[in-house]
Amino acid sequence: MIRLRTDFFAESLGMGTSMVVLMPQAASGIGMEGADATSGSAADESGVPVLYLLHGLSDDCTIWERRTSIERYATEKGIAVVMPEVRRSFYTDEAVGEAYWTFVAEELPRIVARTFRVSTAREDTFVAGLSMGGFGAFKLALNHPDRFAAAASLSGALDPANLPLELHTGHLAERIWGGREIAGTADDLLGLLGASDPAALPALFLDCGTEDQLIDQNRRFLAAAEDAGVEVASRLRPGAHTWEFWDEGIQDVLDWLPIRG
C-alpha cells in the first residue's frame, strides 16, 4: 500500500484540514501478499474501489491506522481507503462552527476524485465508520443512496436526538445543532429510513456490542428499518465500545463489501 497523510485547504470549511489515504500498490513486501487492484480492466478504466472510513467523536484521521491493521486488511482486498478529519462535528454543518457535512458529502469526494486514481462509480464506492463515524456512514448512505454501493456502521451513534449524557461534553449538542430539531432533517436517520425507497438504498451493515452504551440506539435503528422494509445485515454480539471490537468488525466489513474483482 501507498500511505499518504494529505494536508489541504477545504473551501467548505474555510481552513486547512487533513486526511489519510491508503492506495493499492502493484508491489508487495515480505509477508504482505494481497490483491492488486491496479490490474484488471475495471481498475484500468476507472480507478480502484474506495472505502471512506470515518472516525469517532474523540478521534482524528489517523486513528484507524493507530488502533487497527487497516492497511494490511485493505491490502488484502485491493481497495483504497480515505480517512478524513472532521473533528467533533457529528458529520454536520455545525450551528456554531464549520460546515463538515458539506465538506464530507460534497467537497471531499471531488478532491479525492481529482487527486487520486479511485473509481467514482457507485458500485465501487463504500463508506463505513465507528460510533460518531457509524452515524456519518449511514447519514451519507441514506441522504445520497445514488453514490454508495454499501455502508457499514460499527457501534453507531445512530439517534443523535437521544445521545447518552456522557457524549454531551463541551456543550456538544448546542454547538452542533444549536437547539434546532433533528426530526425531519438530514441527521434523522430513523426518519430517513421511513422516507426511503428500500430498493434504491445501498446495502447496509450494522454491528454493535450488546454491552455497548449505544446498543439501544442500534436496536431502534433496526426496528425502524424493519418497519420501513429496509434490509440491514445486522450483528448484535458480545462486546463493548472498544477497539478490540472494531478491529474485528472492520475485517468483517471488508469481507462483506461487494468489491469487484
Instruction: Give the Cα separation of 100 and 108 in Å (integer).
Output: 10
Q: In what order do the strands lie in the sheet with 80-84?
A: 2-10, 15-23, 80-84, 50-54, 125-130, 150-154, 203-209, 233-237
H helix or E strand, kind and range, residue 69: none
Instruction: Give the Cα separation of 157 and 139 in Å (integer).
Output: 11
How far, in Å, are 21, 66, 129 from residue 5 at the CA level?
7, 13, 19
Contact 62, 68 (CB under 8 A): no
Looking only at the bridges linking them, the beta strands covering 2-10 and 233-237 are: unpaired
Tens-place pLDDT, residues 88-144: 999 999 999 999 999 999 999 999 999 999 999 999 999 999 999 999 999 999 999
Instruction: Give the Cα separation of 74 and 130 in Å (integer).
Output: 17
User: In the chain, where are the structural domains located?
Assistant: 2-256
CATH architecture under which domain 2-256 falls? 3-Layer(aba) Sandwich (3.40)
pLDDT score of 44: 42
Nearest to residue 165, comparing CAs of 218, 93, 214, 97?
Answer: 214
42: how many CB neighbours lie within 10 A of its CB?
17
pLDDT band at 258 (very low <50, low <70, confident <90, very high): very high
Tens-place pLDDT, residues 54-95: 999 999 999 999 999 999 999 999 999 999 999 999 999 999
* Angle CA 225–230–234, to nearest 5: 70
pLDDT band at 163 (very low <50, low <70, confident <90, very high): confident
Kindly give, in sequence order, each residue whose CB lies less than 8 Å from that of residue 258, ignoring residues fewer than 6 positions away.
Answer: 123, 149, 150, 203
Is 233 in a helix, a strand, or coil?
Answer: strand
